[in-house]
Copies of this chain bind each other. A is one copy, B any other.
Amino acid sequence: MQPDSKADSQSARSFIEQARRAQIIDAAITTIADSGYSSASMAQIAKTAGISRGLISYHFANKDELIAQLVIKVYTDAGEYMGARVSTESTPAGQLREYIASNLDYMAVHPKGIIALVEIFSSGALANLPGIDASEGEEQSLAPVVEVFERGQQLGQFADFNPRFMAQALRNVIDGVSPHLSDPQLDLEMYKQQIITMFERATGAQHPSEEVPET
């Protein structure tokens, strides 16, 4: 009959802790997205979050740890969202289309996260980040796309090309959109269609259904 006040206060504290960490990560995302990685000092991030410098150090051991958590969060978020969307498709061509579409949709909803991620990646800051292996991360990022391409080629639904190169090219083209995310006039739908069409042509993608009518 007595509510577990201790567990309550503990979970409350844990909640506060989590909320603060999330708030700080959000402030870091905003700061990096708005001013670039090199201008994103701890002081600037604290200012954006409206808290003191020391509080960041209280919740994160390092700047490196903060950035690492930021990367993991955005990366995981985007990965979950895209993974769910891509898995609704079964054909390689459909998965390719959905991969592109879901990635751009995610960019539309969380533009700053994506901008920050690209800033961090392109600043070469990954090298120091604890628990983050840059080359392994790239591998993980590319692997699912490479697999889609390889399966498509085995099924004869994709033309001949180097799957790894094509996966890199796809990532480069998609990531190339992010610098424009700050532009209010950006037409993401147009980009989405252009990228889909471009890679359908580049891969020679054939949707199985398109071949059925032949018979």
- The residues of A with any CB-CB pair to B shorter than 8 Å are 36-39, 119, 122-125, 127, 159, 161-162, 165-166, 168-169, 171-173, 175-176, 190-191, 194-195, 197-199, 201-204
* Assembly CA distance A37 to B191 (angstroms): 30
How far is the CB of A179 from the nearest CB of chain B, in Å? 9
How far is the CB of A40 from the nearest CB of chain B, in Å? 10
A interface secondary structure, majority = helix
How far is the CB of A164 from the nearest CB of chain B, in Å? 10
Residue of A122, A123, A169, A176 with most partner-chain B CB within 10 A: A169
- Whether the Cβ atoms of A194 and B36 lie closer than 8 Å is no
- Whether the Cβ atoms of A161 and B194 lie closer than 8 Å is yes
Query: A119's contact among B36, B124, B191, B198, by CB below 8 Å, is which?
Result: B124
Other A-B contacts than A123-B124, A198-B202, 12 sampled, CB-CB below 8 A, are A36-B123, A37-B124, A38-B124, A38-B125, A161-B197, A162-B194, A169-B176, A172-B173, A172-B176, A173-B173, A199-B202, A201-B204
Q: Which residues of B contact A168 (CB under 8 A)?
A: 176
Q: Which residues of B contact A175 (CB under 8 A)?
A: 172
